[in-house]
Amino acid sequence: MAAQRVEVDGGIMEGGGQILRVSTALSCLLGLPLRVQKIRAGRSTPGLRPQHLSGLEMIRDLCDGQLEGAEIGSTEIIFTPEKIKGGIHTADTKTAGSVCLLMQVSMPCVLFAASPSELRLKGGTNAEMAPQIDYTAMVFKPIVEKFGFKFNCDIKMRGYYPKGGGEVIVQMSPVKQLNPINLTDRGSVTKIYGRAFVAGVLPFKVAKDMAAAAVRCIRKEIRDLYVNIQPVQEPKDQAFGNGNGIIIIAETSTGCLFAGSSLGKRGVNADKVGIEAAEMLLANLRHGGAVDEYLQDQLIIFMALACGVSRIKTGPVTLHTQTAIHFAEQLAKAKFSVKKSEDEEDASKDTYIIECQGIGMTNPYL
């Protein structure tokens, strides 16, 4: 007997691609047929964009599912999942659409496949409105692996706005189930490091200027730590097109990681790009949470699937996080609570504890 189809309103809350990513991943994992309506209804270009479409097609292919309404501009899709299989899966946004967002939608699914998977993801690696691949590799990866799995992320080619052309290969083995996590003890900042890059025709001086401006900005607030930001010229054979940007990471005594990042745009001077990343990092360090604002929503689906109670301490809870929680509760029936942190040191700060009783998803194939 087929499961009852789940109806999702794609126009509520975050109202964009994220609803699609969370709901199709959970639909695939739980074997729930899904209809999403009003996809990106409030956006300037409503409906599916190329990157959303390539993510959906990838999920369809990795579980031999059926997908209706999947074309550019469509505001309604129907997805009927089958069983998740390992092997090689390719997704190509054909644009600068983010490979990191493709990874977000596919990774939870292949953890519960029958055999190991290789995801070949093509598009933008360092693109606007999405995590940069360096964030995924340096912050998301070590933290998400605390759920009890490992993955390998190989950056074959970097790609930038507007052409894309990047390629990342992710390899992972399935798990029986996920362990819950506890990220509530922030510790003190012990290291600050990063990379400022230029690619293509941009002069190396731009990388040096971004790095120097970021270091100056951080020094104003954190005087006692060496800030090591490496300027990098991306090798010609490892970068497609032109781009520049910076990512800065702070590491703490308890292994928490925070980041600030920024991408150069035409007409924006290098100092400004460096300062923007530094200010983002400093803001993420001020709120007293143990994860930064970009990691929050990416952890929700894993917390929902884990076996046991997970807790993370965060700064202000983002709309993306609230959206992910809403759909994890609706589709997976996980139980979340979001409460103001009661620790004394957080009294003056906007700090929260997100707690989740995971559903204890087990891999039927292992």
- Residues 311 and 344 placed together within one structural domain of the fold: yes
Structurally, the chain folds into a number of domains equal to 2
Say yes or no to pLDDT of 43 above 90. Answer: yes
State the pLDDT confidence band at 2, using cuts at 50, 70 and 90: low
Q: What is the mean pLDDT of residues 14-39?
A: 97
- Residues 260 and 126 placed together within one structural domain of the fold: no
The reply to whether 138 falls in a domain is yes
User: Is 287 in the active site?
Assistant: no
* Encoded tokens for 20: 């699609």
The reply to whether 193 falls in a domain is yes
Boundary (domain end) residue, out of 286, 313, 329: 286
The reply to whether 365 falls in a domain is no
Boundary (domain end) residue, out of 236, 257, 286: 286
- Residues 58 and 117 placed together within one structural domain of the fold: yes
- Residues 253 and 308 placed together within one structural domain of the fold: no
- Residues 59 and 170 placed together within one structural domain of the fold: yes
The reply to whether 366 falls in a domain is no
Could you list the residue range(s) of the whole structural domain that residue 263 is in? 189-286
- What percentage of the chain has pLDDT greater than the value 90? 96
Strand partners, 335: 357
Check whether 298 is labelled as a binding-site residue: yes
CA 322 to chain centre: 15
Strand 182-183 and strand 151-159: the pairing is unpaired
Check whether 177 is labelled as a binding-site residue: no
CATH number at residue 254: 3.30.360.20
- Residues 169 and 202 placed together within one structural domain of the fold: no
Span 303-347, pLDDT tens digits:
999 999 999 999 999 999 999 999 999 999 999 999 999 998 888
Check whether 160 is labelled as a binding-site residue: no
CATH number at residue 178: 3.65.10.20
Check whether 357 is labelled as a binding-site residue: no
- Residues 136 and 73 placed together within one structural domain of the fold: yes
Q: What is the mean pLDDT of residues 192-201?
A: 98
State the catalytic residue, choosing from 89, 287, 320, 326: 320
Query: DSSP H helical segments within 92-196, as ranges?
Result: 99-110, 133-135, 141-144
Say yes or no to pLDDT of 234 above 60. Answer: yes
Span 4-25, pLDDT tens digits:
899 999 999 999 999 999 999 9
State the pLDDT confidence band at 348, using cuts at 50, 70 and 90: confident
- Residues 41 and 174 placed together within one structural domain of the fold: yes
Check whether 92 is labelled as a binding-site residue: no
Boundary (domain end) residue, out of 286, 318, 344: 286
Q: What is the mean pLDDT of residues 17-43?
A: 97
What pLDDT score does 346 carry? 84
- Residues 165 and 208 placed together within one structural domain of the fold: no
**How far apart (Å, rounded) are the C-alpha atoms in residues 263 and 199?**
12
Say yes or no to pLDDT of 1 above 60. Answer: no
The reply to whether 42 falls in a domain is yes
- Residues 41 and 75 placed together within one structural domain of the fold: yes
Q: What is the mean pLDDT of residues 73-100?
A: 97
What pLDDT score does 132 carry? 97
- Residues 39 and 140 placed together within one structural domain of the fold: yes
The reply to whether 1 falls in a domain is no
Per-residue burial over 129-146, b if 16 or more Cβ lie within 10 Å, else e, is: ebbbbbbbbbbbbebbeb
- Residues 296 and 175 placed together within one structural domain of the fold: yes
State the pLDDT confidence band at 93, using cuts at 50, 70 and 90: very high
- Which helix (H) or strand (E) element contains residue 121? strand 117-123
Q: What is the mean pLDDT of residues 295-305?
A: 98
The reply to whether 115 falls in a domain is yes
The reply to whether 364 falls in a domain is no
DSSP of 319-334, one letter per residue? Answer: HHHHHHHHHIIIII--
* Encoded tokens for 65: 């599912």
Check whether 330 is labelled as a binding-site residue: no
What pLDDT score does 160 carry? 97
Say yes or no to pLDDT of 302 above 90. Answer: yes
CA-wise closest residue to 129 among 93, 91, 168, 100 = 100
**How far apart (Å, rounded) are the C-alpha atoms in residues 208 and 191?**
20
